[in-house]
Amino acid sequence: MKPVTPVAIAGIGCICSAGLTLKDSMQALYRAQRRPGPPTAFAANPAFAFPVFEIREDFFPFQKIKAGNVFRTCKLALTAVLEAMTDAGIDREFFKRKRVGVCIGTNVGCCVNNEAFYLNQGARDDLLGAPANRFLVSNPTRVIAAEFDADGPLQTVVNACSAGSDAIGIAAAWIRAGVCDVVIAGGADELYQVTYTGFKSLLIYDDSPCKPFDAHRKGLNLGEGAAIFILATDEVLKEAGTSPRAFVLGYGSSTDAYHPTKTRPDGLGLKRAIQEALTTGGLIPAEIAFVNAHGTGTWDNDLIESRVLDELLPGVPFSSTKGYTGHTLGASGAIEAAFTVACLEEGRIPASAGFSAPDPQLGPAYPVRGNFSVSGRAALSQTLAFGGNNAVLILGRGA
């Protein structure tokens, strides 16, 4: 791989448990506010109601959206798209004049909701179409494309927890290749009983607020949210009379080829992804101001991630923001990329929530304990996923 041309980020939108906008979320992060609680989105046995980072406010701007009865993942995505459009200073009419692609990472947005089938099997035929219909009404890529009349390429990335990062990396490649003028890219995921119960069944779900990189970490907490990036060509930005807010400088991805749910012990897959991102970004480690780590709070992830960071990016400050948002699965890569841009602009990164007791096994790489000043024009956001997917984005400040 060779260095590639940076791709402009025209606008960003973000919604998660920390805040309903990117600005609100960042304020919560810098104030070290976090709001874990038992799930209300689905019934959970109170005796086993482990914390989630759920968005409890009514957030969906029905009056601004044409789409009707879409699922929560789509509502999250659409809400973030509207914020990103406002941030970019563009409107629906602008999209209609451009080749607009949509590339969204998700997990839950693509599941077949067979629950409806089971509940209604043999009872009411008119409900039997529900499993099929869910594909149609809940796929966030198609919903966004329909809402904004996007007729460019569409792709729904389902690379588990790295899907949001991958979607942004893929979208940047589309812009570079001239496939489209604008791409609406990012990730979205809602809380879902299957993933909630599944992570608990794997014994990697913390029954208290998660503690990424801490010696007493017990696992992750799930969250929900969405982040959307509007990527555009330089020509489009000029026409819109706006300047880039930030840039996608580099992207790398690789696979562990090791285990469906465990991180490769030598971290080779993650290392390859970081190296590809640095190469395509034309950057050296010293130019990375900070790292937004995946930092789930699971034992293996944090151990291997910290060792890789120490080896490839020694001394570069890092933090995990999952202590503020929970693990938002397919949205996490995009949400954390949004945080990365905001931190570059702000010149500081938030405390790694939940981290207080250093784990000797992780040393010498520990996350920052408090808000930490950083300087530089580029930062790295990395995600590790089930299936051994590793995706790394390097983002750069705008003018």
Partner 1 sequence: MNICIQGIGVLGGFGCGVADLESALARGSSSRTTVAMKTSDGSFDVPALTAHTDRLADFVDKNALRRVDHYIRMALLGSYLALEDAGMLDLKGRRMGVIVATGYGSTCNMMDIQQALDNDAPVISPTRFSNSVHNAAATHISILLDEMGPSLSVNDYDMSIPSAILSACRWLRDKRVKSVLVGGVDEYCRALGYNRHCRHRPQGALKNNPGDLTPGHAVIGEGACFFVLTLREDATPYGFIKSAWLGGSTRVRMDAAGDSVYFLGADASSEIEDLYAGCLPGEAKVAAYTHLYGAMPIAMGFDIAIAALSHKAEKIYASARGVRRRSDYLKVVQTEEPLGNAGICCLKLGVGGTAGTVRLGRF
Would you count residue 40 as binding partner 1 (CB under 8 A)? no
Point out which span in 19-27, 72-80, 131-139, 236-244 binds partner 1 (CB under 8 A): 131-139
Residue with smaller CB distance to partner 1, 224 or 256 = 256
Residue with smaller CB distance to partner 1, 41 or 194 = 194
Minimum CB separation from partner 1 for residue 91, in Å? 19
Would you count residue 132 as binding partner 1 (CB under 8 A)? yes
Is 294 a catalytic site residue? yes
- For residue 364, whether the previous peptide bond is cis, meaning omega lies within 30 degrees of 0, is yes
Tokens of 301: 């992830």
Would you count residue 253 as binding partner 1 (CB under 8 A)? yes
Among 156, 165, 221, 296, binds partner 1 (CB under 8 A): 156
Pick the catalytic residue from 16, 74, 111, 161.
161
Would you count residue 49 as binding partner 1 (CB under 8 A)? no
Minimum CB separation from partner 1 for residue 276, in Å? 8
Return the ∠ at Cα 262 (arms to 226 and 278), rounded to 5°.
Answer: 60
Q: 64 to 123, contacts with partner 1 by CB under 8 A?
A: 99, 101, 107, 110-112, 114-115, 117-119, 121-123
Q: 258 to 277, contacts with partner 1 by CB under 8 A?
A: 258-261, 268-269, 272
Is 111 a catalytic site residue? no
Would you count residue 257 as binding partner 1 (CB under 8 A)? yes
Among 178, 201, 286, 360, binds partner 1 (CB under 8 A): 201
Point out which span in 64-72, 73-81, 141-149, 232-240 binds partner 1 (CB under 8 A): 141-149
Minimum CB separation from partner 1 for residue 306, in Å? 21
- Counting Cα atoms < 13 Å in the Cβ hemisphere of 162 gives 27
Point out which span in 20-28, 256-264, 362-370, 371-379 binds partner 1 (CB under 8 A): 256-264
Contact 395, 337 (CB under 8 A): yes
Q: 352 to 391, contacts with partner 1 by CB under 8 A?
A: 385-389
Point out which span in 11-19, 78-86, 124-132, 209-217 binds partner 1 (CB under 8 A): 124-132
Contact string 303-342 vs partner 1 (x = CB under 8 A): ----------------------------------------
Is 327 a catalytic site residue? yes
Just list the catalytic residues.
161, 294, 327
